[in-house]
Amino acid sequence: MKVEVKHRKNKLGIVGWIGGGRFGAERYAYALHRLTGLGILAYFLLHIFVTGSRIGGRQSWESAMANFKTPLFKFGEFLVFLAFAYHALNGLRLIITELGFMLGKAQRPVFPYVTSVHRQRPLFIGLMIVAAIIIIFGGADFYFI
């Protein structure tokens, strides 16, 4: 006789991208990479919609542009720049590691284990510092220069 077993679902879902445990920084970099990717995609769609307003003539274009001079949109534009800087430099790290660089070589596992995640960490930290510098200079250019 087959017994019907009621299993409880326990998938983390999107919450699992950010939460779900006390993991290393790369796991949060993964979540941020996805979020910034989606943000840039949303901006891209908005960008096409706005530039499409040119079809409606000069007045339509100028009124669309006037909307984007408000502080809120300026901040939004800075967020897009921030997302772009992070996404580009973290993406560079992913390309480098996906091609097998900076990961070390396969070896016999000896405790305490040193994994490829540890070996690529200097690259991760270095690129994040570059991203931070770009964001700081970009922010200064947005608001103060």
Partner 1 sequence: MSETSAPEVQSSDLKVIKNVTFEILRYSPEKDEAPRAQKFQVPVIKGMTVLDGLLWIKENLDASLAYRSSCRMGVCGSCGMFINGLPRLACNNQIVHLNADTITIKPLPNYNIIRDLVPDLEGFFDKHESIQPYMIREQVEELNNPTGEFFQSPDELVDYIQFAYCIKCGLCLSACPTVATDDNFIGPQALAQAYRYNVDSRDEGAKEREEELYSSHGVWRCHFAGACSDVCPKGVDPAFAIQLLKQNMFMQKLHVHKQKPATHVIPWVAEHIPNEKIPKAPERTVK
Q: Cβ closer to partner 1: 80 or 97?
A: 97
> Is 40 a binder of partner 1 (CB under 8 A)?
no
Residues 12-31 close enough to bind partner 1 by CB under 8 A: 12-17, 20-24, 26-27, 29-31
3-state secondary structure at position 12: coil
The Cα 94–Cα 101 span in angstroms is: 10
Q: Considering only residues 68, 75, 115, 143, which one is a binding residue for partner 1 as defined by CB under 8 A?
A: 115
Residues 50-109 close enough to bind partner 1 by CB under 8 A: 94, 97-100, 103-104, 106-109
Element spanning 30, H or E? helix 25-51
Q: H/E/C letters for each residue in 56-109?
A: HCHHHHHHHHHHCCCHHHHHHHHHHHHHHHHHHHHHHHHHHHHCCCCCCCCCCC
The footprint of partner 1 (CB under 8 A) covers 5-17, 20-24, 26-27, 29-31, 33-34, 94, 97-100, 103-104, 106-111, 113, 115-117
